[in-house]
Amino acid sequence: MINLNSPKAISRLEARISPETKLLLQKAADLEGRTLTDFVVASVQAEAYRVIEKHQKLKLNLEDSQAFVDALLNPTVPNDALKKAALIHEQLISS
């Protein structure tokens, strides 16, 4: 994993924003006692982590949760097609 605080971890990102947006971001950065760049990078990084986490979590409604648990507790017997697919998979992986 890249250490984002390392002086060697420098990559450039440019964005064109309206003057109003820049003033808004600058005001927020000033209130936090940070530079504009530090504020923007920290905010974008936090949002990126939030979005990734949101998309990596599996959220099921009650009906889907019950069906999932039922499938785990009461698995169906593999049919011939599944057995054949498993055999082919095993042969491909082992070769």
pLDDT at 6: 58
Residues 6 or more apart in contact with residue 26 via CB below 8 angstroms? 36
pLDDT at 51: 96
| Buried/exposed code over 57-73 (b: 16+ C-beta within 10 A; e: otherwise) | eeeeeeeeeeeeeeeee
Q: Give me the tens of pLDDT residue by residue for the chain, a chain 95 residues long.
A: 455 555 666 888 899 999 999 999 999 999 999 999 999 999 999 999 999 999 999 889 999 999 999 999 999 999 999 999 999 999 999 98
- Residue 42 has what pLDDT? 97
- CA–CA gap between residue 65 and residue 69 (Å, rounded): 6
Domain residue ranges of the chain, discontinuous segments joined by +: 19-56, 62-94
User: Which pTM value belongs to this model?
Assistant: 0.56
Residue with tokens 């599944």: 82
Q: Residue 58: its pLDDT value, please?
A: 84
pLDDT of residue 2: 52
